[in-house]
């Protein structure tokens, strides 16, 4: 008689947290790395606040989200970078062509902007993230042969560019994250987060719309060309 793996029930319950369109919409929205109010997420998901509250309760109890309360407002965010990676990895496994078509021009434009450049929790993704990752690799600053790793020259490049790396973090310095639109890995980990934060803080990139989309500014195009030789057309 076969004995069922005792982890099976727990795994099924955990997987069920993702198996709802409203909860999936919330998890994808929270990949922008920011805290959202319950009301903002309800409007984003197109459901009533009472319905959303029940879903958030399940996600918090299941360990996917953390919450904070400030006065009347309830803020939620992804529990940590590990959960963000899991959500992005799952999204990247959706077979091409099975996604729902945009219903109108607004949704089509938003989708195009997300594919062009976006934040994936705390690092850059989309064509922008891939372009930066490819440039780092081509210049010998990042190696991908046996998993992502900064080279000595790469570490020195971050220092020379004025991008501080948190060497005390328990997260890997560099990690590959499979991009769900490009189907190729982009840079995550401490280095990816530092580069994204620097790009936003210095105005190389700005957030656009209410989604995770970001746009490279003229200053960003010049900086990425000067520092990494990234062509401006690859960022548009």
Domain of 25: which CATH number?
1.10.10.10
pLDDT given for residue 99 in this prediction: 60
Q: Name beta bridge partners: 149.
A: 143
Structural domain that includes position 226:
105-235
Consecutive 10-residue averages of pLDDT for the chain (236 residues):
80 94 94 90 92 95 92 89 90 73 60 87 94 97 94 96 91 91 92 96 89 91 96 85
Gap between the Cα atoms of 167 and 150, Å rounded: 13
pLDDT computed for residue 97 by the predictor: 63
Q: How far apart are CA 197 and CA 124, in angstroms?
A: 9
What pLDDT is attached to residue 170?
Answer: 86
- Which domain-ending residue is among 61, 79, 97? 79
Q: Please report the pLDDT score of residue 132 as a whole number.
A: 97
Q: What is the pTM of this model?
A: 0.78
DSSP 129: H
Instruction: Please tell me whether residues 69 and 168 are part of one structural domain.
Output: no
Rounded CA-CA distance 203/180 in Å is: 25
9 vs 207: CA distance, rounded Å: 41
Contact 115, 181 (CB under 8 A): yes
Rounded CA-CA distance 33/31 in Å is 5
**Of 36, 63, 79, at which residue does a domain stop?**
79
Q: Are residues 26 and 121 in the same domain?
A: no
Question: Measured between alpha carbons, how far is 178 from 180 in angstroms, rounded to an integer?
Answer: 6
Which runs of consecutive H residues, i.e. helices, occur in 17-104? 21-29, 38-45, 49-61, 81-92
Q: CA-CA distance, 209 to 98, in Å (whole number)?
A: 25
Query: 93 in a domain, yes or no?
Result: no
Q: Give the pLDDT of residue 98.
A: 61
In a domain, 40, yes or no: yes
Q: Cα separation of 222 and 187, whole Å?
A: 21
Q: Is residue 90 part of a domain?
A: no
In the chain, how many domains are there?
Answer: 2
Residues 225 and 185 in one domain: yes
Quick one: pLDDT at residue 146?
85
């Amino acid at each position: 008689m076969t004995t069922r793996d005792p982890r099976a029930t727990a795994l099924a319950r955990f997987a069920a947290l993702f198996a709802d369109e409203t909860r999936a919409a919330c998890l994808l929205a929270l990949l922008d790395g920011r805290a959202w109010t319950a009301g903002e997420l309800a409007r984003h998901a197109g459901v009533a606040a009472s319905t959303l509250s029940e879903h958030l309760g399940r996600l918090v109890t299941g360990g996917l989200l953390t919450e904070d309360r400030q006065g009347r407002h309830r803020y939620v965010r992804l529990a940590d970078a590990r959960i963000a990676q899991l959500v992005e990895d799952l999204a990247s496994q959706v077979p091409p062509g099975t996604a729902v078509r945009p219903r109108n021009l607004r949704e089509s434009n938003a989708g195009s902007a997300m594919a062009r450049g976006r934040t994936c929790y705390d690092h850059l993704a989309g064509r922008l993230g891939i372009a930066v990752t490819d440039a780092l690799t081509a210049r010998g600053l990042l190696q991908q042969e046996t998993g992502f790793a900064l080279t000595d020259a790469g570490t020195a490049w971050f220092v020379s560019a004025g991008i501080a790396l948190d060497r005390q973090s328990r997260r890997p310095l560099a990690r590959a994250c499979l991009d769900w639109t490009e189907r190729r890995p982009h840079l995550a980990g401490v280095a990816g987060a530092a580069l994204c934060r620097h790009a936003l803080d210095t105005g190389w990139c700005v957030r656009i719309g209410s989604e995770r989309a970001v746009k490279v500014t003229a200053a960003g195009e010049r900086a990425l060309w000067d520092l990494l030789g990234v062509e401006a057309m690859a960022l548009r």
